[in-house]
């Protein structure tokens, strides 16, 4: 790209026209990310003051994620694309950042790492769940490819592909896209999973927390939403969010790179089904977050099983779940909906009978 960032095409069609030069005159953004340790709770926090000037709700005709046209030289120079990944111009992590400062109470590290944008389609008005299953499979392949690349990059401890969807979530670009963060530290949620998995392994003389949770959900059955030969989708027993679905592979794998071809196919199909079922609950928008949880890079990764978590803050038509005093200030979630009731509603959703049309 014109400012030295990397852009990668993931093509489904070999005859796609590709423009491999960026004609723009872009100033270089120098990331000034830091990682600061919160000694009070034992967690790392990212500080990225350079992100205040990032793009905010641009009109559709100058969308930076659409293919380039004579009137809009975007981040993608080609006139069309299938899936594209590029380095975020305003990354939360990346660059040299601060000089390390050791201290028991004030521990400071450079915010190294990498942040990438994943564009799911050239169609500005599409949503991921309404693209062909083959496109979701391409997205999964891109996630896996970038997981391998970022895991091999120095200074990355956790690779996290995710999608934010909807203005209610805080999305500032309407074009269907997700992101991949290469964090320079083990994130609080992954660290908590590691602790829980280790405690379970000790308590059960070697038990696998993720395998035992999956076996329990399958045995009880009341929270299972869908399944196929290699994946299971269920509302978790202690769901925090109004509608929350987890997707677990039947075979224990640490990250996306370990998935076999059939497992990638099945994940694409089941993930689309889950989001379509969630959409069917509300005659309203569906602000969602999808997170792909993987084992951390290096030591301790085998304690975490790859899985997806899909959640919405929509609790009823016209009503959202706001994280107020108990959730934001205390970290103690209170869910207004029962997981068993939510799972039953999701199973009852009538999926579209017509196949999702191909692009174009």
**Which of these is catalytic: 177, 200, 246, 307?**
177
Q: List Cβ<8 Å contacts ≥24 apart for 164-168.
A: 164/288, 164/289, 165/127, 165/128, 165/286, 165/287, 165/288, 165/289, 165/290, 166/285, 166/286, 166/287, 166/288, 167/287, 168/285, 168/287, 168/313, 168/314, 168/320
115 is in an annotated binding site: no
- Within 10 angstroms of residue 208's Cβ, the number of other Cβ atoms is 17
Asked if residues 46 and 111 have their Cβ atoms less than 8 Å apart, the reply is: yes
175 is in an annotated binding site: yes
3-state secondary structure 164-197: EECCCCCCCCCCCEEEEEEECCCCHHHHHHHHHH
63 is in an annotated binding site: yes
Residues found in the chain: 360
Asked if residues 82 and 137 have their Cβ atoms less than 8 Å apart, the reply is: no
245 is written with which tokens?
A: 């679905």
In degrees, rounded to 5, the angle at the alpha carbon of residue 194 between the alpha carbons of residues 154 and 215 is 125
d(CA 200, CA 79): 52
Alpha-carbon distances of 275 from 60, 69, 127, 338, 351, rounded to whole Å: 25, 32, 10, 19, 10
119 is in an annotated binding site: no
Catalytic site includes residue 130: no
297 is written with which tokens?
A: 């890079």
Asked if residues 92 and 116 have their Cβ atoms less than 8 Å apart, the reply is: no
d(CA 294, CA 281): 29
Instruction: Using DSSP, state whether 28 is helix, strand or coil.
Output: coil
Q: Tokens 């003389």 correspond to what residue? A: 205
72 is written with which tokens?
A: 């809009």
Known binding residues for Zn(2+) are 63, 66, 124, 175
Residues identified as active-site: 177
Known binding residues are 63, 66, 124, 175
């Amino acid at each position: 790209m014109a400012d030295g960032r990397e852009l990668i095409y993931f093509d489904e069609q070999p005859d796609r026209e590709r423009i491999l030069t960026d004609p723009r005159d872009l100033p270089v953004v120098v990331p000034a990310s830091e990682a600061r340790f919160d000694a009070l709770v034992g967690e790392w926090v990212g500080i990225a003051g350079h992100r205040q000037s990032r793009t905010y709700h641009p009109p559709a005709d100058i969308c930076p994620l659409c293919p380039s046209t004579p009137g809009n030289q975007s981040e993608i120079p080609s006139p069309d694309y299938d899936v594209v990944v590029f380095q975020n111009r305003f990354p939360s992590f990346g660059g040299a950042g601060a000089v390390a400062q050791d201290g028991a109470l004030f521990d400071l590290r450079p915010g190294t790492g990498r942040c990438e944008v994943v564009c799911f389609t050239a169609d500005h008005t599409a949503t991921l769940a309404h693209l062909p299953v083959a496109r979701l499979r391409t997205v999964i392949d891109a996630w896996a490819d970038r997981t391998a690349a970022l895991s091999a990059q120095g200074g990355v401890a956790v690779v996290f592909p995710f999608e934010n969807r909807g203005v209610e979530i805080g999305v500032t670009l309407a074009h269907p896209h997700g992101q991949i963060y290469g964090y320079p530290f083990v994130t609080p949620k992954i660290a908590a999973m590691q602790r829980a998995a280790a405690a379970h392994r000790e308590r059960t003389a070697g038990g696998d927390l993720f395998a035992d949770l999956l076996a329990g959900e399958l045995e009880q059955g009341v929270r299972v939403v869908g399944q196929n030969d290699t994946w299971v989708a269920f509302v978790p027993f202690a769901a925090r969010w109004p509608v929350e679905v987890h997707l677990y592979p039947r075979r224990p794998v640490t990250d996306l790179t370990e998935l076999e071809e059939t497992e990638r196919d099945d994940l694409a199909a089941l993930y689309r089904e889950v989001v379509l079922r969630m959409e069917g609950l509300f005659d309203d928008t569906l602000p969602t977050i999808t997170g792909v949880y993987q084992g951390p890079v290096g030591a301790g990764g085998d304690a975490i099983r790859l899985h997806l978590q899909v959640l919405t803050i929509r609790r009823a038509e016209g009503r959202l779940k706001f994280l107020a005093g108990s959730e934001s200030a205390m970290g103690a979630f209170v869910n207004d909906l029962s997981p068993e009731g939510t799972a039953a509603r999701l199973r009852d959703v009538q999926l579209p009978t017509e196949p999702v049309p191909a692009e174009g």
